[in-house]
Structure 1
């Protein structure tokens, strides 16, 4: 038996329901007034799913024609939020294609990139990662800069390189440089001596999952990511150091430690 809804007085996008219009073949239609003043008739399913949110005037205003990220439509019984498909993690609902009726979900790749992905491509394994990560994987050993090492995941190298580009910082180190520095420091923070880790590498070895604590620091912040100017530190330490010269950073760390001891004495 078809369930009947009373939508009179409710608002869906720019539409306010005035009255029930007709009911043909189990499809209820409602007479609605758009905020622009026009009157239009809309089926129940299109209103409740917010598939139709105006008389058509929204199409001329693309900046507002967006469904809030993270809110799946009411007509959709599938909800993939939180699920992982390869490198992708679904973080919200994007939209439903008007022609194909396919759902598109906002996905975040391991490298941090986000984009809407067709649910069919997710379920069939057609899309498992962002274009950059897919390109890196396809190159493999042909480009050492884009290949992970024993301790450093390729996704981290990708993220570091992209971040340097966006900030206009020189980046000439390779994954081999990062691996060599890691081994030289025995996987410990250059300033605190704490063990560092990457969850991806730990999981691959079957070890207990750890927090993402490793971060690459430039000893001289005036110089880019070049051989001889990098060291591994705890990510919290890197946040504290920011662009300070190493000598200034250490000087203030000593002052903070002395101040803390004096305050607790």
Structure 2
């Protein structure tokens, strides 16, 4: 017989051999780290089937006070045959979640995290589309009829005319004998589209040019 007194198994320390046996295995009295005692056989201890007085299982299922992602567990509840936990999200909302969903990381917020991710992805997609729509006129492949070397800049009747496409409509911006002026205006319009302020920029640009023409 192997003397197991003093040996530790999980949270249990063997303190005494009893006179009892179970299925041919010696029963030992053990003290748990939490202070309680329990009986366990040599086979149960050596196999790892018994590691505590039962408090480990309780700790596993008692999630109150623990945090999972953006959720803090407030209290345990019973929903039908399932044990759930009332959680408070960092955003302030409260939600009931099953314990296994929390432990496995399946639920980490009230839903606000996914909503934020969707908004970010939507903004990214919109920004990419907007940049593509605006830059294709300025930096894309030149049309066969282009003679200036710059998209959105055409040479008509001795002048360079700047234009840009926005929301399926072409806007004619300026016609000038200096190509650098036409390029500068075209670039400003392109940047205004990228920044989402094209309409405001266009209105201001037209107002400024109307004022200049009156002088």
| TM-score for both structures, normalised by structure 1 | 0.24
**Which protein is richer in helix relative to its size?**
2
| TM-score for both structures, normalised by structure 2 | 0.29
**Which protein is richer in strand relative to its size?**
2
